[in-house]
Amino acid sequence: MRSAPEHWLLDLDDTLYPAESGLFAHVSRRITARIARTLDLPEDEARRVQKDFWRRYGTSLRGLVVEHGIDPEPFLADVHDVPVEEILAPDPALRTALLALPGRLHVFTNGPHEFAARVLVRLGVPPRTPEDLHAEDVERRQVRTVLAALPRRQATILLMWAEDLSYAEIAAAAGIQPSSVGTLLRRAQDAFKKEYEGRYGHAS
């Protein structure tokens, strides 16, 4: 008999909270506005840049960091400054289901930990301990640091793979042959592991 899982990996955005709530649409609009201010662009051009960066880098933020050298932390804080408490409602059924799971819950989001905490508290499923959320925020910062140290193509492939894009979609976005994606992805994963362990030691 298999033992109960010790860890549960949960996606926050448009998953733990419903996509139809429109919460992430608020974030997306703030991303557009931030890009417009940062690059001094009209809104329609900023939206085009936003979509272009997402297609080429996996996230708009990654594109801004690579091509314009922006500081990611103020960007993340600004674009996630949305009225979570007005948009979302408590979800008692979700709380019951999640708290019934054995083991530890790990909630993932591209946003800062303050945003994740606000969403979880509003839904009624706050992290079991503040340390849990802090540890996950530290890990996200480490991952961003390692990605920034990799060659652009490797980081981009990893980001697109993490977003569940198919090999065909990755190939089209990266301008490579679909048959090459598997090999390039493995090399990128090896490079990420080497860089991560060189900076932070073996992952737990």
Residue 194, in any domain of the structure:
yes
Residue 204 has what pLDDT? 47
- Residue 118's domain comprises 7-148
Per-position pLDDT tens, the chain of length 204: 566 677 787 888 888 998 899 999 999 999 999 999 999 999 999 999 999 998 888 788 888 888 888 888 899 999 999 999 999 999 999 988 888 888 777 788 888 888 988 998 899 886 555 555 555 666 777 787 888 888 888 888 888 787 667 888 888 888 888 899 899 999 999 998 888 888 887 654
Residue 171 has what pLDDT? 86
Q: Where are the alpha helices (DSSP H) in the chain?
A: 23-39, 43-57, 60-68, 72-79, 84-87, 92-99, 113-123, 130-149, 152-162, 167-174, 178-200
Residues 170 and 140 in one domain: no
Residue 75, in any domain of the structure:
yes
Give the 3-state secondary structure of residue 77. Answer: helix
Tell which of 123, 148, 173 closes a domain.
148
Residues 96 and 185 in one domain: no
Residue 1, in any domain of the structure:
no
- Per-residue tokens: 182: 């598997």
Residue 138 has what pLDDT? 67
Residue 30, in any domain of the structure:
yes
CATH at 137: 1.10.150.450
Residue 140, in any domain of the structure:
yes
Residues 197 and 179 in one domain: yes
Residue 2, in any domain of the structure:
no
Residue 29 has what pLDDT? 95
Tell which of 105, 130, 148 closes a domain.
148
